[in-house]
Protein backbone atom coordinates (compact mmCIF):
# COMPACT_ATOMS: atom_id res chain seq x y z
CA UNK A 1 0.00 0.00 0.00
CA UNK A 2 1.12 3.54 -0.72
CA UNK A 3 -0.67 5.32 2.12
CA UNK A 4 0.89 7.53 4.74
CA UNK A 5 -1.37 8.11 7.73
CA UNK A 6 -0.88 11.31 9.72
CA UNK A 7 -2.24 12.32 13.11
CA UNK A 8 -3.63 14.40 14.66
CA UNK A 9 -5.63 16.37 12.11
CA UNK A 10 -5.32 19.49 14.24
CA UNK A 11 -3.22 20.47 17.23
CA UNK A 12 -3.33 23.41 19.61
CA UNK A 13 -0.23 24.18 21.68
CA UNK A 14 0.74 26.99 23.98
CA UNK A 15 3.76 29.12 23.19
CA UNK A 16 6.89 27.42 24.46
CA UNK A 17 5.32 23.97 24.41
CA UNK A 18 6.24 20.90 22.38
CA UNK A 19 4.25 20.03 19.26
CA UNK A 20 4.26 16.38 18.22
CA UNK A 21 2.90 15.08 14.91
CA UNK A 22 2.92 11.39 14.03
CA UNK A 23 2.94 9.46 10.75
CA UNK A 24 2.74 5.80 9.90
CA UNK A 25 3.42 4.06 6.60
CA UNK A 26 2.87 0.61 5.15
CA UNK A 27 5.17 0.42 2.15
CA UNK A 28 8.50 -0.97 3.36
CA UNK A 29 10.15 0.26 0.16
CA UNK A 30 9.88 3.85 1.39
CA UNK A 31 13.32 5.10 2.37
CA UNK A 32 13.09 8.88 2.31
CA UNK A 33 10.87 10.74 4.79
CA UNK A 34 10.57 14.53 4.57
CA UNK A 35 8.39 16.94 6.52
CA UNK A 36 6.89 20.02 4.91
CA UNK A 37 5.38 23.19 6.37
CA UNK A 38 2.70 25.09 4.47
CA UNK A 39 1.34 28.56 5.14
CA UNK A 40 -1.92 29.77 3.55
CA UNK A 41 -1.41 30.86 -0.05
CA UNK A 42 2.03 29.28 -0.25
CA UNK A 43 3.44 26.00 -1.43
CA UNK A 44 4.85 23.47 1.05
CA UNK A 45 8.37 24.23 2.28
CA UNK A 46 10.82 21.47 3.20
CA UNK A 47 11.58 21.51 6.93
CA UNK A 48 13.65 18.45 7.59
CA UNK A 49 14.08 14.96 6.14
CA UNK A 50 15.40 11.60 7.32
CA UNK A 51 16.49 8.30 5.82
CA UNK A 52 15.99 4.97 7.67
CA UNK A 53 19.65 4.49 8.54
CA UNK A 54 19.28 6.90 11.49
CA UNK A 55 16.66 6.97 14.26
CA UNK A 56 16.70 10.69 14.92
CA UNK A 57 17.64 13.91 13.16
CA UNK A 58 17.61 17.36 14.68
CA UNK A 59 17.72 20.74 12.98
CA UNK A 60 17.23 23.68 15.31
CA UNK A 61 13.89 23.32 17.08
CA UNK A 62 12.74 20.55 14.72
CA UNK A 63 13.45 16.86 15.36
CA UNK A 64 12.39 13.79 13.40
CA UNK A 65 12.19 10.51 15.30
CA UNK A 66 12.11 7.38 13.15
CA UNK A 67 11.09 3.85 14.16
CA UNK A 68 11.76 1.49 11.26
CA UNK A 69 10.35 -1.66 12.91
CA UNK A 70 7.07 0.10 13.74
CA UNK A 71 7.01 1.91 10.38
CA UNK A 72 6.38 5.18 12.15
CA UNK A 73 8.04 8.58 12.24
CA UNK A 74 7.23 11.79 14.03
CA UNK A 75 8.02 15.49 14.04
CA UNK A 76 8.74 17.27 17.31
CA UNK A 77 8.73 21.06 17.42
CA UNK A 78 10.40 22.30 20.58
CA UNK A 79 9.65 25.71 22.11
CA UNK A 80 6.72 26.17 19.72
CA UNK A 81 6.11 29.76 18.60
CA UNK A 82 3.04 31.51 17.16
CA UNK A 83 4.97 31.83 13.89
CA UNK A 84 5.00 28.02 13.69
CA UNK A 85 1.22 28.04 13.19
CA UNK A 86 0.81 26.34 9.81
CA UNK A 87 -0.18 23.05 8.21
CA UNK A 88 2.44 20.31 8.46
CA UNK A 89 2.71 17.38 6.08
CA UNK A 90 4.73 14.23 6.42
CA UNK A 91 5.70 12.44 3.24
CA UNK A 92 7.47 9.32 2.09
CA UNK A 93 9.19 8.23 -1.08
CA UNK A 94 11.16 5.40 -2.59
CA UNK A 95 13.52 5.40 -5.54
CA UNK A 96 12.05 4.84 -8.98
CA UNK A 97 12.81 1.73 -11.02
CA UNK A 98 16.09 3.19 -12.23
CA UNK A 99 17.11 4.25 -8.75
CA UNK A 100 17.58 7.79 -9.98
CA UNK A 101 14.67 9.65 -8.44
CA UNK A 102 12.75 10.18 -5.21
CA UNK A 103 10.42 12.56 -6.97
CA UNK A 104 7.19 10.69 -6.27
CA UNK A 105 6.26 11.83 -2.76
CA UNK A 106 3.29 10.26 -0.96
CA UNK A 107 1.90 12.79 1.52
CA UNK A 108 -0.02 12.43 4.75
CA UNK A 109 -3.30 14.33 5.10
CA UNK A 110 -1.76 17.18 7.05
CA UNK A 111 -1.92 18.58 10.58
CA UNK A 112 -3.11 22.11 11.26
CA UNK A 113 -0.95 23.44 14.10
CA UNK A 114 -2.06 26.46 16.10
CA UNK A 115 0.33 27.93 18.66
CA UNK A 116 -1.33 30.30 21.11
CA UNK A 117 0.74 33.19 22.48
Residues of this chain that interact with other proteins (CB under 8 A) are 34, 36, 41-46, 49, 89, 91, 96, 98, 100-110
Closest contact distance (angstroms) between CB of 16 and other proteins is: 29
Closest contact distance (angstroms) between CB of 117 and other proteins is: 27
Minimum CB distance to other proteins smaller for 47 or for 80: 47
Helix (H, G, I), strand (E, B) or coil at 82: helix
Minimum CB distance to other proteins smaller for 85 or for 109: 109
Minimum CB distance to other proteins smaller for 13 or for 47: 47
Instruction: Determine whether 115 is exposed, middle or buried from the number of CB atoms within 10 Å of its CB (0-12, 13-18, 19+).
Output: buried
Q: Kindly list the distances between the CA atom of residue 43 and the CA atoms of 16, 56, 61, 88, in Å, as whole numbers in the listed order.
A: 26, 26, 21, 11
Judge whether 50 and 57 are in contact, CB under 8 Å: yes
Closest contact distance (angstroms) between CB of 100 and other proteins is: 7
Amino acid sequence: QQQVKQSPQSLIVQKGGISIINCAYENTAFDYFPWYQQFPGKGPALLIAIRPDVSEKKEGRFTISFNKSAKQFSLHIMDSQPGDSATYFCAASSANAGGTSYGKLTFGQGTILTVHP
